Structures are given as C-alpha cells and as structure tokens.
Amino acid sequence: MIVVSDYLKGVVSQGVMSAIIQIAAERRIPVLVDPKIPHIGYYRGATLVTPNHHEAEVAAHMRIRTPDDAARAASVFKERVGCRSVLITRGEQGMCLLDGTEEAHFPAVAREVADVTGAGDTVIATLALTLGTGATTAQAAWLANHAAGVVVAKFGPATVSPQELLEAIVKA
C-alpha cells in the first residue's frame, strides 16, 4: 500500500506521482491519495482518492448539499482524476464512497467536534491499514469514519488508539 498525502509543500510533483503510480501498477500495489486541487491532474491511475467536500466541489464544479449531490460529485471527480474510487469526506454530513460503480454513504459518527485538524490524515491512514488486512473499500471507509469521529473530538492533531476505536464502534 502506498499512501500519498499532498500538502502542497513541494514534495508531490507530477513526476513523483507518475513514478509512484507506474511502479505501483506494475507491482499491483494500491495507491491512496489525500489530494490538493492544484495537483488534481497528478493522481491519474490512483486506486483511491479522498477529497474533502470543498475539494470535491471545486474539482466537480458543483455544490454538495445532499447525499445525491455527493454521489454525483464523486462520479465527476472520479472521471476527472481517472482513479478507481473516491471517498468524499463531508464533515458533519459523513462520507460518500464511490468504489468503482458501487455507492455508499456513511453518516457522521462524531458526538462532539473539538478540532478537525488531522481528520483527513486519520481517514487515509485507517483506510490503508484496513485495506491492507483484506477488507473491502466500503468496510475500510466505515472504520475510517469511526476513527475520524474519535479524532475530531480531541483538541489539536490527535491519534486514535485501537481501544478508542473499538469503544467508539461499540457506542455507535
């Protein structure tokens, strides 16, 4: 599994992404990307891209207000980027997954939101770990949604422990 978190700091370039995606494809290694809009053209061929709702709106040239809007935006995003799957993180509206042609929506599970710093990082890390165990993309997104719900309840950049994640799932 290769995870790329693009922070627009100069590390992720067209050449770097092309090499990553080519080498990963040759070895059948999934590539997961937490994107930034200025680099949207770099991610062609990625396995899964995880834009937040603002990034998805910009890339799809549409507003996302409803689950149907999110599904349409995911489809447009997927076609524009040329990736296999898209998971749009929608904050208090949960998540929208378009995996191939299968659509799934996950309601937000956070009880209280203290700080959203690092929520996207938590999502992509949980996706990668869960997919690495052989889970489906939908199963991984479901777990990532719960992990993000734990992290946003904490102040500042935070982590989620296996115990915290298990407790959050049991409470849900």
Closest C-alpha among 117, 120, 41, 45 to residue 87: 120
Cβ-based burial of 113 (10 A; exposed 0-12, middle 13-18, buried ≥19): middle
Q: Where are the domains of the chain?
A: 2-171
Main-chain phi, psi angles of 29, to 5 degrees: -105, 125
Q: What is the pLDDT of residue 62?
A: 96
Q: What is the pLDDT of residue 150?
A: 93
Q: What is the pLDDT of residue 77?
A: 96
Structure tokens at 109: 């599970």
CATH 3.20.20.150 fits 2-171, yes or no: no
Residue 121 falls in the annotated catalytic set: yes
Contact predicate 34/121, CB 8 Å: yes
Q: pLDDT digit of tens for each residue in the chain (172 aa)?
A: 999 999 999 999 999 999 999 999 999 999 999 999 999 999 999 999 999 999 999 999 999 999 999 999 999 999 999 999 999 999 889 999 999 889 999 998 867 888 888 889 999 999 999 999 999 999 999 999 999 999 998 988 889 999 999 999 998 7
- Output b/e per residue, 132-156; b: 16+ Cβ within 10 A: eeeeebbebbbbbbbbbbbbbbbee
Beta bridge partners of 52: 89
Q: What is the pLDDT of residue 23?
A: 97
34, 69, 99, 121: which one is catalytic?
Answer: 121
Q: What is the pLDDT of residue 101?
A: 86
Q: What is the pLDDT of residue 115?
A: 80
